[in-house]
Amino acid sequence: MKNGQNLLRIQESRDAGFVERVERESGQRVSQCYQCGNCSASCAYTHVYDFPANQIMRLIQLGQKDVILRSRSIWLCAQCQACTTRCPCNIDVARVMETLRVLAVEAGAVTQKDIQLFYDEFLKSVAAFGRVFETGLLASYNMKSGKPMTDADLAPQVLRKGKLALLPHRIRGRKEVAAIVRRFMDGAPERG
Amino acid sequence: MRIGVFVCQCGTNIAGTVDTRAVAQRALDYPDVVFATDYMYTCSEPGQQEIQNAIAEHRLQGVVVAACSPRMHEPTFRRAVEKAGLNRYMFEMANIREHVSWIGQDRAANTLKAMELVRMAVEKLRRNEPLFASEVPINKRVLVIGGGVAGIQAALDCADAGLDVVLVEREQSIGGKMAKLDKTFPTIDCSSCILGPKMVDVAQKENITLHAYSEVESVSGYIGNFTVKIRKKATYVDWDACTGCGLCMEKCPSKKTVDRFNEALGVTTAIQIPFPQAIPKKARIQKDACRYFTTGKCKVCQKICPTGAVHYDMEDREVVEEVGAIIVATGYDLFDPAPYGEYGAGRYPDVITGIQFERILSASGPFGGHVKRPSDGKEPKDIVFVACVGSRDKSVDRPYCSGICCMYIAKQAILARDHLPGVNCYVFYMDIRSPGKNYDEFVRRAIEEYGVQYIRGRVGKIYPNGDRMVVQGADTLLGAQVEVEADLVVLATGVESSRGAKELAEKLRISYDQYGFYMESHPKLRPVETNTAGVYLAGACQGPKDIPASVAQGSAAAAKVLALFARDTIATDPQVAGVLESACIGCGKCLSVCPFGAIQWKTLRDGSRKADVLETVCQGCGLCNATCPPKAIQLRHFTDDQILAELDALCA
């Protein structure tokens, strides 16, 4: 195995409840996967994943919770759904990946802190303005992730073309949107 | 009546969740029951002996066995009671296995339900009457539907045994899919070299009547005596006069007709003989391509034909054949890969199907056996084969394995390497299924000796890059995405049921599964029988099959027909409808509901009209019984009296 484990004692590391949890949360029958590999074949990010999508599915079947939740793949998934579209077993693979992220956050097992940070900042921005304020999001993300100059060289161009606004654009119903985000955040631990 | 009740334990199958002893004890309280017992395996030799002993010892007049479904063992027990001197219809079966022990875990409830089912059977048996079968002669001719390798084998075996055979083929020539193949796995022997002689045999046997380019219109009758209407489709060529010289094909000006035999990879003429070894080797005009039929002018073939065989006014013709048995060997069709948009078949000329590649390999194919790609005729340097296109894929409603693709890909890869030693072959597969004799060795040969690169993973998409195709797939053994550039991509399309299979099944009154494959009578023990007596199956119409299995089934179906025809007569089922003439009011409702045309009018001496059942045609469905207003027509062994007695017993 990657992550320095070449021998996996599958009984010791198996978390039987995890399989059921993933299936329930995602609404997908992961047990139906017969490892054809079409998800990995179709995936735009297989080259940067630590485990290709089909191996993630296999690890779920084996109940290898710790390996999966610490994997990089679940955070790099772009949710393009090519895997979902082409799965011959009709498994919504992208949905499963998303479920795994939620479970990783819940278990405090996130290895890709920056990606989680981006999601958190994104939601905060949505809660504050009713929709995302890109310029603010980029600034706060860059600061908090400790890489303040990331993509700064692109700023003059995108600003000139009007792709990014300097001030947030507020929408009607901000309170309601904020309530949705809050409900999600508050409900997180009890989901499942 | 003196009735005996035998409750079977079926090992633990029934006794596990039913108190069989209690069921037997309770049965002694039912009217007319003078003997009751339970037994470990009632269907066993000693079990049957016990029934026969009890009949003698207790002077039983009727027997109830509470055991499994009557499907398998009702005939067993009927024979047993008959041997002991009872009429075989003085027997009833209560199904306490499939209907009780296998479906419920509650022992008390199960036991109670078993008791009630036994009570119903006893009440019915009390009203049973001895019934006697009559004998009707068997028409010892056999109809074979489908002239692929399975149908050919069945027809030849029957003909060799001296039977009159009628062979109906939908296409212009017999030979089926096998006639399109170049070589066959795992021996790489030439397909037409081994099939050709059999096709010629069919043409030469005097006792085989071949109706090619014909379809079965309707089937009536029953085992031993079927009447089959066959529509001979118009070919616009008199096949008695046509010598198959091919002059018409040379002169026909419509030379751009899509060649269906070559899977649309080449062109042919409007008047055509599909391939050189065709049987019958006769020409046919494809109407929508013919210049005369589309523009009203031409008639070149008629002028050139040395025997004057061309007749543009020919029409479909109907022939009627009387046969005693039917073998269905209608074969299969191949999956259309259009639902896999990401593979681009139909959009990219160099993405083809397995059967198309088979024609490319064939010396009689569109390229004369030179492996070239369709787009520009270049010899490919890299060929990619994609397995499981339309197999094991729920998303396209084909969850089953087609069983032949793993083998035909290995064969095609080997042949491609034989034709073009420099070509690189890649196979994307999910699993290799090669359970036949010498099959796995064959696949290993492809890998080890022919250097075919097998990659374990499915293909995600295929897209063009310059004049080549990029195949993007996975190697799940490596855990990596892989890309292969290819000049030619072959999709191993899977097996699906033959076009029109369901319509034919309805004409034959046989059942089919959700994918249109015909249902055998028992998946293990009656593999070539159907649930319609006298109708047998052979080959891929029953499910995906390779050539050896299809041939074996063709012979097996022939053996079944020969066994049937070994007798001169067949016993009819006496469980048919009968009319009580004094009660019949002559309303004619039974005539209109009977699906088999088994009821006709009969005029009595006083001039009154009564319904009359043709006992040999009646299938015992009971529709007339349910319809008859004065209940004058009754289905024997299932009369209103008997069924109401069962209901009374249940509700008591």
> Residue B472 is nearest to which of A35, A41, A51, comparing CB atoms?
A41
Closest CB to B342: pick one of A43, A86, A88.
A86
CA–CA min distance B390, chain A (Å): 10
- Hey, how many other C-beta atoms are within 10 angstroms of the C-beta on B574? 17
Residue B400 contacts A, CB cutoff 8 Å: no
- B36 and B54 assigned to the same domain: yes
The yes/no answer to whether this complex scores an ipTM above 0.90 is no
Find all residues with CB under 8 Å of B468, minimum gap 6, and list them: B382, B485, B486, B487
Is residue B458 situated within a structural domain?
yes
Task: Give yes or no for residue A22 having a pLDDT over 80.
Answer: yes
Domain count for chain B, please give it.
5
Give the residue from chain A lying closest to B432, CA to CA.
Answer: A36
Same domain for B591 and B544, yes or no, is no
CATH of the domain at B609: 3.30.70.20
3-state helix, strand, coil in chain B (%, to 5): 30, 25, 45
Average pLDDT estimate for A127-138: 91
The model's pTM: 0.85
Chain A residue nearest residue B398, CA to CA: A88
From the list A40, A88, A89, which residue is nearest B474 (CB)?
A40
Dist. CA B556–CA B76, nearest whole Å: 24
Residue B160, classed as helix, strand or coil, is helix
C-beta atoms of B474 and A54 within 8 A: yes
pLDDT grade for A3, boundaries at 50, 70 and 90: low
Q: Give Dmax (Cα) for chain A.
A: 59
When pLDDT is averaged across residues B420-433 and rounded to a whole number, the result is 96
Domain that holds residue B147: 141-233+316-331+513-565
Give the pLDDT band of residue B617 (cuts 50, 70, 90). Answer: confident
The answer to whether residue B503 sits within a structural domain is: no
**Residues B338 and B486 grouped into a single domain:** yes
B451-505 tens-digit pLDDT = 999 999 999 999 999 999 999 999 999 999 999 999 999 999 999 999 999 999 9
A35 touching B (Cβ < 8 Å): yes
B344 and B485 housed in the same domain: yes
> Which single residue is written with the structure tokens 């002169």?
B251
On chain A, the residues whose CB falls within 8 A of the CB of B457 are 36-38, 40-41, 54
- Residue B646 forms part of a structural domain: no
Q: Are residues B417 and B463 in the same domain?
A: yes
Indicate if B377 and B464 belong to the same structural domain: yes
Q: How far is A55 from chain B (nearest CA, A)?
A: 7
Q: Is residue B501 part of a domain?
A: no
Same-domain check for residues B592 and B605: yes
- Domain-embedded: residue B134: no
Q: B370 CB near a chain A CB, below 8 Å?
A: no
Q: What is the pLDDT of residue B457?
A: 96
How far is the alpha carbon of B126 from chain A, nearest alpha carbon, in Å?
A: 53
Please tell me the predicted confidence (pLDDT) of residue B326: 98
Distance from first CA to last CA of chain B, Å, rounded? 21
Which residues are registered as beta bridge partners of B471? Answer: B462, B484
Our CA angle for A46, A52, A58, nearest 5°, is 165
B430 touches chain A (CB under 8 A): yes
pLDDT for B221 equals 85
Cross-chain residue pair A47–B395, CB shorter than 8 Å: no
DSSP code of residue A115: H
Residue found under tokens 């290995």: B410
Q: For the domain that residue B417 is a member of, what is the CATH number?
A: 3.50.50.60
B456 and B356 in a common domain: yes
Query: Would you say residue B634 has pLDDT above 80?
Result: yes
B483/B358 same-domain check:
yes
Measured between CA atoms, the residue of chain A closest to residue B429 is A36
Task: Give me the phi and psi of B159, to 5 degrees please.
Answer: -65, -40
Do B404 and B467 sit in the same domain of this protein? yes
Contacts of B396 in chain A (CB under 8 A): 88
pLDDT at A16 over 90: no
Contact B23, B17 (CB under 8 A): no
Asked if residue B427 belongs to a domain, the reply is: yes
Please report residues of B whose CB lies closer than 8 A to that of A35: 430, 476
CATH number of the domain that residue B94 is part of:
3.40.50
B611 and B587 in contact (C-beta within 8 Å)?
Answer: no
Residues B79 and B31 in one domain: yes
Pair (B337, B448) in one structural domain: yes
